[in-house]
Structure 1
Amino acid sequence: MIKTLLIVVPIFVAAHLRAQPATDTTRKSPIPTLTYEQYHAFLKGEAGEDMARVAEMNHYPLPEKVLKYKYELDLSPIQVKKLTEAANYLHRRRLQIGGSIIDTEHNLDSMFRYNKVQDGNLIFYTNRYGLYQGELKNAFLQACLSTHNLLSQQQMARFESLEKRK
């Protein structure tokens, strides 16, 4: 059942995706518990990159970072295809989970704002929020794992030297 919830972008978020212009730091977030920047990062599928830190620190890079150096690393067409698929899957998951996080924040805000907080629904939504955070971290770490497994030791060493130069 939880997997089904993650696949559909919540209606509240879908409406805001159509209505919101590009990120504007002078505007307020429609969700008071998120900054405007956080809100738009979730909507665009750009939030959470810090969740890959444990993998990246241990030589498991994100696929989109490796793809920036596809010529320098002499990636094969199969490697490029699989890295692109991993990057696209991660982006889709970031969009899905980000929408769910926004929806959950909206529900929590509404419960407190309208004094409708009950023990049961508070437990439900906070546990749900934790689930989404775990799903997002897993999506990042799975992408890093698949990226690491696609690269040779020489490509990995070259990638790390290229990253150090930037």
Structure 2
Amino acid sequence: MNRINAVTFAAVLAASLPAAAQHHGTGHGKPAEHATAASPYVGQEKREIKAMSEQEQRGWLEGQGMGLARAAELNGYPGPMHTLELADSIGLSPAQLAASRELMQRHKAEARALGVRLVETERQLDAAFREKRANDTDVERLTAEIAQIQGSIRASHLRTHLAQQRLLSAEQVSAYNRLRGYTQ
């Protein structure tokens, strides 16, 4: 076992011991008389889709960014929404303004369509468990589909930042980063 795997294993083991002690008793060789540790999930059992809050569903369905493009945003690749908000401050030309608006519209349409697919697939996974018909094959298929859709949504956001950065001059990108508070 290499050093990183050994450290990771030790950390996971150490973190699981207190939880195991709570679950199986007091941790002092005595069984717990009344386990009353409430789950942090209390209340979520009433959700339409258990794995998604209403706010998360709305975010996916509306094509919101939800931090999915931070790798681009924080490394000097502006997004169209904030570029449009800062249009006057960074000196967008009429052509840049039109291209940024068009980019934003295309991206939102793509992200929303993918969001609909994601929410629907999460709904199918939830239904399989709710209806007590979940099986290994369906779980594997649905979670792989969910992961693929989530990856496609993130890629859409990141590609949009790439496209927006190509529409701007280096000076405009610098101004954007300064106005967003990323640089001085």
What is the CA–CA distance in structure 1 between the aligned matches of 2:47 and 2:180, rounded to whole Å? Answer: 34
The match for 2:157 is 140
Q: What secondary structure sits across from 1:71 in the alignment?
A: helix
Could you state the TM-score of these two structures normalised by the residue count of structure 1?
A: 0.76
Gaps of 5+ in 1: 1-27
Where in structure 1 do 4 or more consecutive aligned residues deviate above 4 Å?
none
Q: 2:58 aligns with which of 29, 40, 43?
A: 40
Contact 1:83 1:147 in 2 (8 A): yes
The match for 2:69 is 52
Contact 2:59 2:66 in 1 (8 A): no
Could you state the TM-score of these two structures normalised by the residue count of structure 2?
A: 0.69
Instruction: Tell me which amino acid in the other structure corresponds to 2:49.
Output: I
Q: What is the 5 A alignment of 1:142-157?
A: 142-157=159-174
Residue 147 (structure 1) shift: 0.8
What is the CA–CA distance in structure 1 between the aligned matches of 2:177 and 2:63, rounded to whole Å? Answer: 25
What is the CA–CA distance in structure 2 between the aligned matches of 1:45 and 1:57, rounded to whole Å? Answer: 20
Q: What secondary structure sits across from 1:50 in the alignment?
A: coil
Contact 1:63 1:84 in 2 (8 A): yes
How many residues of Structure 1 are paired with residues of Structure 2 in the alignment? 137
What is the CA–CA distance in structure 1 between the aligned matches of 2:100 and 2:66, rounded to whole Å? Answer: 17
Contact 1:63 1:143 in 2 (8 A): yes
Q: 2:114 aligns with which of 79, 93, 97?
A: 97
Instruction: Tell me which amino acid in the other structure corresponds to 2:55.
Output: E
What is the CA–CA distance in structure 2 between the aligned matches of 1:44 and 1:156, rounded to whole Å? Answer: 26
Structure of greater relative contact order (alpha carbons < 8 Å, 6+ residues apart) = 1
What is the CA–CA distance in structure 2 between the aligned matches of 1:144 and 1:43, rounded to whole Å? Answer: 20
Q: Which has the larger radius of gyration?
A: 2
Contact 2:114 2:152 in 1 (8 A): yes
The match for 1:80 is 97
Deviations 1:38-75 (A, max 9, x none): 122222222x4311000111100111111111112221
The match for 2:48 is 30
Instruction: Tell me which amino acid in the other structure corresponds to 1:36.
Output: E
What is the CA–CA distance in structure 2 between the aligned matches of 1:107 and 1:152, rounded to whole Å? Answer: 45
Contact 2:79 2:160 in 1 (8 A): yes
What is the CA–CA distance in structure 2 between the aligned matches of 1:85 and 1:148, rounded to whole Å? Answer: 14
Instruction: Tell me which amino acid in the other structure corresponds to 1:89.
Output: R
What is the CA–CA distance in structure 2 between the aligned matches of 1:37 and 1:152, rounded to whole Å? Answer: 36
Q: CA RMSD in A?
A: 1.6
Does 2:137 match 1:125?
no
Contact 1:29 1:39 in 2 (8 A): no
Q: What secondary structure sits across from 2:90 in the alignment?
A: coil
Residue 29 (structure 1) shift: 4.2
